[in-house]
Structure 1
Amino acid sequence: MKELVFAGGWMMVPLLLASVLAVAICIERFWTLRPSNIAPKHLLAEMWALIKKNELTPTRLKQIKQESHLGSVLVAGLTNSKHGRDITKEAIEQAASQSIHDMERFLTALGTIAAVTPLMGLLGTVLGMISVFNEIMAQGTGNAAVLAGGISEALITTAAGMIVAIPSLICYRIFTRRIDEIVVFMEQEAMKLVDVLHGDREVSEAAEG
């Protein structure tokens, strides 16, 4: 592996840094973007149960808000319900917007890595071929070892760029899809809350789904 890195030339340094950053982002996002951690399925039903028991205290509301993104959205709607349906929906939208922003953290960087690393590999290819042609101009075509070294550098950087870009792009798509699914679920739960709070839906219907 070391030999390949050194053979690829100086362009391998930013490619290696990009690969380390991509791995770190993927691990962090896989851990953070767990649906059970962001939008627990039975949270709305649990909140209704607490309301019925008159146990939904400000302290419990604060705890629910801090435990998950869905919790923060539902609490925002619940605490603003007395101001009317429009204000309730606006509060939910604001909380959801902040949650989406948090869920999309680092994804721009991951997408950039997926887009840029093939270009970095291509740049390494171009630099390697320039080196080859310079050697041809200086020594002619008789020194096969030098020519092979330049071509090897070009091929290694191209491959390295693809090796970093392909998994990065796959993970980026996976995370984007996961966020979309979570957001849809959060919207559905929030609408159930709004409907119940303003008399358009029964509590039992909302709790069941």
Structure 2
Amino acid sequence: MKKTIHKAVYAALLFLPMTAFAAEGAAKAEVKKTFIDVLKDGGWCMYPIGLFSIATVWLIIDIWMRTNPKKMTPPEDVTVAQQAFLAGDYIGAYQTMKALNSPFSQVVRSALGSIGYGKAATEEAIMSEVDKVNSTLQTRVNYLSVIGVCTPMVGLLGTVSGMRGAFASLGSAGIGDPTALAGHIGEVLIATASGLFIAIPAFMGFYFLRNKLQSGVHHLEEEAEHLFRNAPYDYLKDADVGQEETYAALPNWIENPG
């Protein structure tokens, strides 16, 4: 997680100069300015936009890694589960999947916990766990859409703030002193361009990673269903493969169940 955050910060630091230079070109500034000067010209809205840029890069890197097929359905986890199923060691398979930490191991572990209740219960457990994995990752993908919507709004607020300053300068000094007016107009252009420049890759990442997530989830579901396709449910009936502690005892008014 720390490595992902560091990558996002470094990428955002490379990303923000592009935003600033694009905005600087839009403002058509005659005097060459440093990157810090351009950010300062953008006004207060450059701070939240900078945070949005870091969050965008971090989310894209993080979701890309999480939705990788080798991350969602590791081949080594699939091989271990297949070998345990071929040996008929369902309890060992459950314990192994419990020790692993991948979406595939979560789905298989959940299905093995319900295998004693029949095929329908097992397939329902698979679908439920796959939906849970999909929902967790989809929430992260949706954050990119939120950033894509909110960043131009922040830039618009900066635009309104810059225009307010421009009209205030125009009202106090008139058109005889265009320096202050030009500074406020530059702030308006930088704020608008920066907001749009961050929103575009955020939306592109949202749609691309959403499709990538759907592909990964389908592959995960296929591998899990293939593993349980020929499971001997008749022999596993009422088997407590999970061997987890249960909290559903008989009613306390039953004294002698026998």
TM-score using structure 1 length: 0.83
Counterpart Cα distance in 1 of 2:228 and 2:89:
20
Q: Are 2:63 and 1:63 equivalent residues in the alignment?
A: no
Q: What is the count of residue pairs matched by the alignment?
A: 198
Counterpart Cα distance in 2 of 1:55 and 1:87:
20
Structure 1 residue ranges without an equivalent (≥5): 200-209
One of 26, 33, 41 as aligned partner of 2:60: 26
Alignment RMSD, CA only? Answer: 2.3
How is 1:80-99 mapped onto 2 (pairs within 5 angstroms)? 80-99=114-133
Q: Are 2:172 and 1:148 equivalent residues in the alignment?
A: no
Structure 1 match to 2:70: 36
Structure 2 match to 1:4: 38
How far apart are residue 147 of structure 1 and its match?
Answer: 1.3
Contact 1:77 1:193 in 2 (8 A): no
Distance change >3 Å, CA 195–CA 56, structure 1 → 2: closer
Counterpart Cα distance in 2 of 1:97 and 1:39:
15
Q: Deviations over 1:87-115 (max 9, x none)?
A: 11221122112212332353333221111
How far apart are residue 56 of structure 1 and its match?
Answer: 4.9
Structure 2 residue ranges without an equivalent (≥5): 1-34, 234-258
Distance change >3 Å, CA 45–CA 27, structure 1 → 2: closer
Q: Deviations over 1:126-164 (max 9, x none)?
A: 221121112222222221111111110000011111121
Distance change >3 Å, CA 180–CA 76, structure 1 → 2: same
Other structure's SS at 2:182 match: helix
How is 1:1-209 mapped onto 2 (pairs within 5 angstroms)? 1-41=35-75, 43-44=77-78, 46-58=80-92, 60-65=93-98, 66-197=100-231
Q: Quick check: which has more Rg, 1 or 2?
A: 2
Counterpart Cα distance in 2 of 1:32 and 1:46:
21
Counterpart Cα distance in 1 of 2:61 and 2:85:
38
Contact 1:92 1:190 in 2 (8 A): yes
Other structure's SS at 1:10 match: coil
Q: Deviations over 1:62-84 (max 9, x none)?
A: 33343320222123223322211
TM-score using structure 2 length: 0.68
Distance change >3 Å, CA 101–CA 63, structure 1 → 2: farther
